[in-house]
Amino acid sequence: MVQNFQIGLNVVKLGYSTPLSIVQLMVNTIGHRNAELALTSGRLFTTNEALRVGLIDEIAKDRASAFDKANDFLNQFKVIPPIARHFTKQSMRRALLQDVSINGKIYVEDFVSLISRPKVQELIAAYMANMKNKKKNSN
């Protein structure tokens, strides 16, 4: 991640909840307490905070450096048989994958129901307008 950016999920501020599969990925990545605090408050982490909690692995000085670091990360897997990596990752995420496979349709229906509520739509529209104004004012 490059300095002076933010990362996280602020959907709770828009009136809807983070999908369970994403919650579980956050818990697996940054721990239960950090994930709970971040997801229930809509917290966005600065670059340094994201590194500290383990949301990112390293900080790049600029965009080009970020791409170089990403390529270096991916290149380490050239010597790993893809099937071995695939099954290892799959076994680590088995419970999550099974849950999404079994309950995915319900999760989508719940999400659509929630995000379609007028109040949620108002919050999303206000957020988008705010983002447009920020972009407009920064140019």
Kindly list the domain boundaries of the chain, sorted by start residue: 6-138
- Confidence band of 20 (pLDDT split at 50, 70, 90): confident
- Confidence band of 137 (pLDDT split at 50, 70, 90): confident
Mean pLDDT across the stretch 53-76?
A: 96
Closest by Cα among 48, 46, 37, 49 to 12: 37
Asked if the model's pLDDT at residue 43 lies above 80, the reply is: yes
Question: Could you tell me what percent of the chain has a pLDDT over 70?
Answer: 99
Residue pLDDT, tens place only, 74-125: 999 999 999 999 999 999 999 999 999 999 999 899 999 999 999 999 999 9
Q: Which CATH architecture has domain 6-138?
A: Alpha-Beta Complex (3.90)
pLDDT at 134: 84
What mean pLDDT, rounded, does the chain reach?
Answer: 93
Asked if the model's pLDDT at residue 139 lies above 80, the reply is: no
**3-class secondary structure per residue, the chain:** CECCCEEECCHHHHCCCCCHHHHHHHHHHHCHHHHHHHHHHCCEEEHHHHHHHCCCCCCECCHHHHHHHHHHHHHHHHHCCHHHHHHHHHHHCHHHHHHHHHHHHHHHHHHHHHHCCHHHHHHHHHHHHHHHHHHHHHC
Asked if the model's pLDDT at residue 138 lies above 90, the reply is: no
